[in-house]
């Protein structure tokens, strides 16, 4: 029987599915494994189900001498050195599709929370200082009718655009490729260049993949193009935003607020974020509904089954070329 290693805790049903086909070395107690311990486990593995924070690099692959597939339990795969995998004929898969709606829901939630100061309001109420209702209390900015600027317009970006219509928002987008005119019409979305998007949007929302090319895609210069009353939402990846530059902009009130699910160097986060009232923070949970996380784990497992048990191409092959 072939061997599969699962590096982090998944659902019991994921393990049950894998055990129908493989000897499974799982980590259901979610123990923090050192690189050495992981290397030991993967030495004779045929397949590995990874999490988005496992670093799959040359060293990892050298340790996994028999591996033919890395099934990442995430749609993003910037944790994996694709070139190194391809060089060794290791298939890499991800979990697209199953999380689009949940991430889009969460992105809208962060947008509203940042615009309407929900985090700050809750902290205030919990502090016990609330004495009365008054007209000018915690005034926020409206989401309905505002201009949304989506950076990244793949499946998730398009799901966000659908939801934005329900809020009567005007949607601008910027991405590597302009989408088909029919899709633009259906979603009421208009393609613009990066600077125009930054200048016009009331809410700039990031949902593009991380790569060296998108490192600090939003930095000092970009933040200075944004409106003083604009909100930045990042549900993509840490590193796309220069967190230090963002903190300066939030402190100086050069933008209104931010809603962030991802951070440079997470799970460590720049402690200065914690002292700011005008930022809503969450611990990389945009896809984290129970049913979506189950579907992601099962998608990764199914990729392992297709390749290792059935000898078929995987369902979600990232490095096919
Ligand atoms: C989550 O961040 C993912 O890439 O699936």
CA 240, CA 219: separation in Å to the nearest integer? Answer: 9
CA 177, CA 283: separation in Å to the nearest integer? Answer: 30
User: What is the DSSP-derived secondary structure letter of residue 307?
Assistant: I
CB 305 within 8 A of CB 314: no
pLDDT in tens, 265-286: 999 999 999 999 999 999 999 9
Tell me what the pLDDT averaged over the chain comes to.
98
Q: Ligand 1 pocket test: which of 76, 106, 266, 295 has the largest number of ligand atoms within 8 Å of its C-beta?
A: 76
Which residue lies with its CA nearest to atom 1 of ligand 1? 74
For range 294-316, the mean pLDDT:
98
Indicate which residue of 116, 284, 293, 306 is catalytic.
284
Ligand 1 centroid–CA 72 distance in Å is 9
Owner of token pair 């611990």: 283
pLDDT in tens, 7-57: 999 999 999 999 999 999 999 999 999 999 999 999 999 999 999 999 999
CA distances for 205 relative to 26, 52, 215, 230, 310, angstroms: 36, 21, 16, 11, 40
What is the per-residue pLDDT for 95? 98
The question of whether 222 is a catalytic residue gets the answer no
CA distances for 282 relative to 23, 114, 234, 263, angstroms: 36, 12, 10, 10
Nearest atom of ligand 1 to the alpha carbon of 287: 1
Residue 108 binned pLDDT confidence (cut-offs 50, 70, 90): very high
Is the entire prediction scored with pTM above 0.75? yes
pLDDT in tens, 150-200: 999 999 999 999 999 999 999 999 999 999 999 999 999 999 999 999 999
Which residue lies with its CA nearest to atom 4 of ligand 1? 76
Residue 321 binned pLDDT confidence (cut-offs 50, 70, 90): confident
* Torsion of the alpha carbons at 282, 284, 287 and 288, rounded to the nearest 10: -70
The question of whether 122 is a catalytic residue gets the answer no
Ligand 1 centroid–CA 175 distance in Å is 18
Cis? peptide before 304, omega within 30° of 0: no
Give ligand 1 pocket residues (Cβ under 6 A): 52, 74-76, 99, 287
Residue 103 binned pLDDT confidence (cut-offs 50, 70, 90): very high
pLDDT in tens, 205-254: 999 999 999 999 999 999 999 999 999 999 999 999 999 999 999 999 99
């Amino acid at each position: 029987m072939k061997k599969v290693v699962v590096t982090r805790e998944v659902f019991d049903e994921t393990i049950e599915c894998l055990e129908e086909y493989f000897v499974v070395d799982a980590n259901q107690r979610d123990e923090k494994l050192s690189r050495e311990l992981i290397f030991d486990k993967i030495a004779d593995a045929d397949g590995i189900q990874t999490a988005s924070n496992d670093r799959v690099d040359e060293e990892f692959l050298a340790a996994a001498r028999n591996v033919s597939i890395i099934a990442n339990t995430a749609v993003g795969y910037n944790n994996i050195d694709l070139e190194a995998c391809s060089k060794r004929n290791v298939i890499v898969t991800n979990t697209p599709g199953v999380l689009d709606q949940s991430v889009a829901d969460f992105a809208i939630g962060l947008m509203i929370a940042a615009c309407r100061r929900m985090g700050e309001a809750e902290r205030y109420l919990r502090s016990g200082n609330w004495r009365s209702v008054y007209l000018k209390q915690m005034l926020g900015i409206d989401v309905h009718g505002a201009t949304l600027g989506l950076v990244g317009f793949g499946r998730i970006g398009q799901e966000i655009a659908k939801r934005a219509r329900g809020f009567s928002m005007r949607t601008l987008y910027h991405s590597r490729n302009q989408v088909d005119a029919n899709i633009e019409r259906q979603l009421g979305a208009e393609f613009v260049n990066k600077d125009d998007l930054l200048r016009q949007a009331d809410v700039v929302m990031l949902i593009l993949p991380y790569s060296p090319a998108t490192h600090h895609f939003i930095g000092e210069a970009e933040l200075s193009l944004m409106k003083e009353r604009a909100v930045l939402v990042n549900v993509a990846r840490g590193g796309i935003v220069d967190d230090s530059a963002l903190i300066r902009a939030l402190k100086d009130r050069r933008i209104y607020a931010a809603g962030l699910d991802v951070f440079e160097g997470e799970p460590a986060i720049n402690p200065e974020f914690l002292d700011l009232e005008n930022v809503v923070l969450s611990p990389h949970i945009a896809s984290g509904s129970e049913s979506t996380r189950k579907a992601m784990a099962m998608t990764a497992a199914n990729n392992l089954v297709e390749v290792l048990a059935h000898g078929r191409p995987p369902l979600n092959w990232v490095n096919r070329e």
